Amino acid sequence: MRADAASGSVVVVGSVNADLVVTVDRLPEPGETVTGGRFARGGGGKGANQAIAAARAGARVRFVGAVGRDDLGAAALDELRAEGVDVSAVAELEDEPTGVAIIAVDRDGANQIAVASGANARVDGALVGAAFAAGAPRAGDVCLLGFEVPDGAVVAAARAAAPTGARVVLNPAPARELPAALGGLGVLLTPNAIEARALTGEADPVAAARALAARTGAPVLVTVGAAGALLVDPGGAGEVELAAPRVDVVDTTGAGDAFNGVLAAGLATGQALEEAARAAVRAASRSVGVAGARG
């Protein structure tokens, strides 16, 4: 069921990839070859995965990004459209390939991922500006951002969305230094524990979340794998542990994307932050029970 007309929309500015997945008994050590794997190809990219998760959770979703004008790009756009995602703001580039992720998954669901960014590296402030000129986020909307596209796109989207009253959510994955230009925009950060440590130097997820909240002046959600998530909200709920249900793990690929997409959908449809975060934890837990980033 899609969101009703009174609800906000989710605008995702992020990456689109083709996922090439090999499932093996165990992950290889550096320099080692592990044989006997099973191969599958699917749609990926954190931004695209999050957009589909938000759409499945009931939100209206518009995607801003780029693909190559190639077979992988055409397939990626078809997959997004089939899920109800508006891809009218996705650029199709003649001189760049669609992004590709090479993923190895072991029998316990752990993974290793290497990404060739391709067209995603061309998602810049100008592309975002052109997309938002045709329809910028508004009050009640959620602008969901990620670090698989350059800082220019992230900053341009946040600066355009925040003054309108739209909620800006940044999944800082893969982790890199937060752009100083995001300061004062009230950006909700959603790192996992590894990313939170990289951003702050704090090994303890609670300490890392507190440090990030002090830096941004906004709530922070840190996902902590099978334990669920931690919410640090200095201006609201305080510090809350959000427990995850126990599940049998098949593949952890895309769990964070499911979390972020469902979180954004909940916020766009009027849920309070803690309520939306609890729903996001449940969605992420369900996602690891099946193979693939969008299962």
The enclosing domain of 279 has a CATH number of 3.40.1190.20
In this prediction, residue 7 carries a pLDDT of 78
Residue 34 lies in a domain: no
Residue 24 lies in a domain: no
- What is the rounded distance in angstroms from the CA atom of residue 103 to the CA atom of residue 113? 5
Q: Spot the catalytic one: 19, 233, 251, 257.
A: 257
Is residue 257 flagged as an active site residue?
yes
For residue 90 the two structure tokens come to: 């996705």
- What is the rounded distance in angstroms from the CA atom of residue 169 to the CA atom of residue 53? 15
What are phi and psi for residue 123, nearest 5 degrees? Answer: -80, 105
Residue 195 lies in a domain: yes
In this prediction, residue 247 carries a pLDDT of 75
In this prediction, residue 1 carries a pLDDT of 38
Q: Strands (DSSP E) along 1-37, which ranges?
A: 9-13, 17-23
Identify residue 105 by its one-letter amino acid code: V
Burial (0-12, 13-18, 19+ Cβ within 10 Å), 89:
buried
103: which DSSP letter? E
- What is the rounded distance in angstroms from the CA atom of residue 33 to the CA atom of residue 35? 6
In this prediction, residue 292 carries a pLDDT of 62
Residue 27 lies in a domain: no
Number of domains the chain is built from: 1
In this prediction, residue 98 carries a pLDDT of 98
Length of the chain measured in residues: 295
Beta bridge partners of 168: 143
Residue 104 lies in a domain: no
Residue 293 lies in a domain: no
Smallest CA-to-CA distance from 52 within 21, 87, 23 is with 87
In this prediction, residue 249 carries a pLDDT of 74
- What is the rounded distance in angstroms from the CA atom of residue 252 to the CA atom of residue 218? 28
Residue 109 lies in a domain: no
Q: List, run by run, the mean pLDDT of 10-residue segments along the chain (295 residues).
A: 63 96 94 95 93 97 98 96 98 97 89 93 97 93 98 98 97 96 96 97 96 95 93 84 80 83 97 96 83 65
For residue 242 the two structure tokens come to: 């959000």
Residue 25 lies in a domain: no
In this prediction, residue 195 carries a pLDDT of 97
In this prediction, residue 245 carries a pLDDT of 76
Q: Which domain holds residue 170?
A: 9-16+45-97+118-287
In this prediction, residue 5 carries a pLDDT of 42
> Would you say 156 and 52 are in contact if contact means Cβ atoms under 8 Å apart?
no
